[in-house]
Protein backbone atom coordinates (compact mmCIF):
# COMPACT_ATOMS: atom_id res chain seq x y z
CA UNK A 1 0.00 0.00 0.00
CA UNK A 2 1.59 3.28 -1.09
CA UNK A 3 2.15 5.85 1.64
CA UNK A 4 1.57 9.58 1.57
CA UNK A 5 3.57 11.11 -1.27
CA UNK A 6 4.76 14.69 -1.21
CA UNK A 7 6.43 16.47 -4.10
CA UNK A 8 8.86 18.00 -4.49
CA UNK A 9 11.13 16.87 -1.65
CA UNK A 10 13.28 20.00 -1.78
CA UNK A 11 12.66 23.45 -3.16
CA UNK A 12 14.59 26.70 -3.22
CA UNK A 13 12.67 29.87 -4.00
CA UNK A 14 13.36 33.60 -3.93
CA UNK A 15 11.54 36.11 -1.74
CA UNK A 16 8.40 37.36 -3.42
CA UNK A 17 7.88 34.26 -5.52
CA UNK A 18 5.06 31.82 -5.04
CA UNK A 19 5.22 28.07 -4.57
CA UNK A 20 2.86 25.09 -4.89
CA UNK A 21 3.40 21.88 -2.96
CA UNK A 22 1.61 18.64 -3.71
CA UNK A 23 0.37 15.79 -1.54
CA UNK A 24 -1.11 12.46 -2.62
CA UNK A 25 -2.79 10.72 0.33
CA UNK A 26 -3.10 7.02 0.96
CA UNK A 27 -5.74 5.50 -1.29
CA UNK A 28 -9.13 5.73 0.41
CA UNK A 29 -8.10 8.50 2.81
CA UNK A 30 -10.35 11.51 2.43
CA UNK A 31 -8.83 13.79 5.03
CA UNK A 32 -5.63 15.68 4.24
CA UNK A 33 -3.91 18.07 6.66
CA UNK A 34 -0.91 20.32 6.20
CA UNK A 35 1.65 21.31 8.83
CA UNK A 36 4.65 23.62 8.95
CA UNK A 37 7.64 22.59 10.98
CA UNK A 38 10.29 25.09 12.02
CA UNK A 39 12.97 24.60 14.69
CA UNK A 40 11.59 27.30 16.95
CA UNK A 41 7.86 26.68 16.60
CA UNK A 42 7.56 22.95 16.20
CA UNK A 43 4.74 21.47 14.14
CA UNK A 44 2.04 24.02 13.39
CA UNK A 45 -1.30 23.27 11.81
CA UNK A 46 -2.00 25.01 8.49
CA UNK A 47 -5.28 23.57 7.24
CA UNK A 48 -7.32 20.43 6.85
CA UNK A 49 -9.43 19.26 3.92
CA UNK A 50 -12.08 16.58 3.82
CA UNK A 51 -13.92 15.64 0.63
CA UNK A 52 -12.68 18.77 -1.18
CA UNK A 53 -13.85 21.12 1.59
CA UNK A 54 -11.58 23.04 3.92
CA UNK A 55 -12.72 22.04 7.37
CA UNK A 56 -10.18 23.73 9.58
CA UNK A 57 -7.60 26.46 9.23
CA UNK A 58 -4.69 27.34 11.46
CA UNK A 59 -3.40 30.75 12.39
CA UNK A 60 -1.48 31.58 9.21
CA UNK A 61 -1.77 34.60 6.92
CA UNK A 62 -3.87 34.54 3.78
CA UNK A 63 -0.74 34.00 1.69
CA UNK A 64 -1.10 30.36 2.64
CA UNK A 65 -3.88 28.58 0.80
CA UNK A 66 -4.77 25.10 -0.24
CA UNK A 67 -7.22 22.95 -2.04
CA UNK A 68 -8.24 19.33 -2.39
CA UNK A 69 -9.26 17.60 -5.57
CA UNK A 70 -11.94 14.96 -6.14
CA UNK A 71 -9.30 12.20 -5.97
CA UNK A 72 -8.31 13.54 -2.50
CA UNK A 73 -4.94 14.83 -3.72
CA UNK A 74 -4.17 18.18 -2.17
CA UNK A 75 -2.03 21.17 -2.99
CA UNK A 76 -0.93 24.05 -0.84
CA UNK A 77 0.17 27.37 -2.22
CA UNK A 78 2.23 30.10 -0.62
CA UNK A 79 2.29 33.43 -2.39
CA UNK A 80 4.73 36.31 -1.94
CA UNK A 81 7.26 34.15 -0.14
CA UNK A 82 9.11 35.53 2.86
CA UNK A 83 12.35 34.31 4.42
CA UNK A 84 10.37 33.12 7.43
CA UNK A 85 8.43 30.69 5.25
CA UNK A 86 11.53 28.50 5.06
CA UNK A 87 10.43 25.30 6.74
CA UNK A 88 9.56 21.64 6.37
CA UNK A 89 5.99 21.30 5.13
CA UNK A 90 4.33 18.03 6.07
CA UNK A 91 1.15 16.58 4.71
CA UNK A 92 -0.83 13.92 6.56
CA UNK A 93 -3.81 11.83 5.55
CA UNK A 94 -6.45 9.92 7.46
CA UNK A 95 -9.63 8.01 6.61
CA UNK A 96 -11.58 10.53 8.70
CA UNK A 97 -10.71 13.78 10.43
CA UNK A 98 -9.35 13.57 13.97
CA UNK A 99 -10.74 10.28 15.20
CA UNK A 100 -7.96 8.13 13.76
CA UNK A 101 -4.22 8.60 13.55
CA UNK A 102 -2.72 10.45 10.63
CA UNK A 103 -0.13 9.04 8.23
CA UNK A 104 2.50 11.61 7.38
CA UNK A 105 4.44 12.11 4.19
CA UNK A 106 8.19 12.73 4.09
CA UNK A 107 7.66 16.44 3.67
CA UNK A 108 8.83 19.19 1.36
CA UNK A 109 11.81 21.20 2.56
CA UNK A 110 11.30 24.77 1.35
CA UNK A 111 14.15 27.27 1.49
CA UNK A 112 13.43 30.90 0.70
CA UNK A 113 16.48 33.00 -0.17
Partner 1 sequence: ILNVEQSPQSLHVQEGDSTNFTCSFPSSNFYALHWYRWETAKSPEALFVMTLNGDEKKKGRISATLNTKEGYSYLYIKGSQPEDSATYLCAPRGGGADGLTFGKGTHLIIQP
Residues present in the chain in total: 113
DSSP element (H, E) containing 63:
none
* Region 17-36 residues binding partner 1, contact defined as CB under 8 A: 33, 35
Residues in contact with partner 1, shown as a per-residue x/- string from 91 to 110 under the rule CB under 8 A = -x-----xxxxxxxxxx---
Region of residue 98 (phi > 0: left; psi between -120 and 50: alpha; otherwise: beta):
left
**37 three-class SS:** strand
**42 binds partner 1 per the rule CB under 8 A:** yes
* Nearest Cα to Cα of residue 19 among 27, 31, 10: 10
For partner 1, which is the closer residue by CB, 13 or 58? 58
Shortest CB 33 distance to partner 1, Å: 6
Q: According to CB under 8 A, which one of 8, 43, 71, 111 is a site residue for partner 1?
A: 43
Asked whether 77 and 19 are in contact (CB, 8 A), the reply is yes
**45 binds partner 1 per the rule CB under 8 A:** yes
* Region 55-94 residues binding partner 1, contact defined as CB under 8 A: 55-59, 90, 92
Backbone phi and psi for residue 85, each to the nearest 5 degrees, phi listed first: -80, -5
Q: Which residues bind partner 1 (CB under 8 A)?
A: 4, 33, 35, 42-45, 47-48, 55-59, 90, 92, 98-107
Amino acid sequence: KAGVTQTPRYLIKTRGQQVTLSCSPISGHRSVSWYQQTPGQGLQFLFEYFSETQRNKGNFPGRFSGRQFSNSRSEMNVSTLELGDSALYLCASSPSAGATGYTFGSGTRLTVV
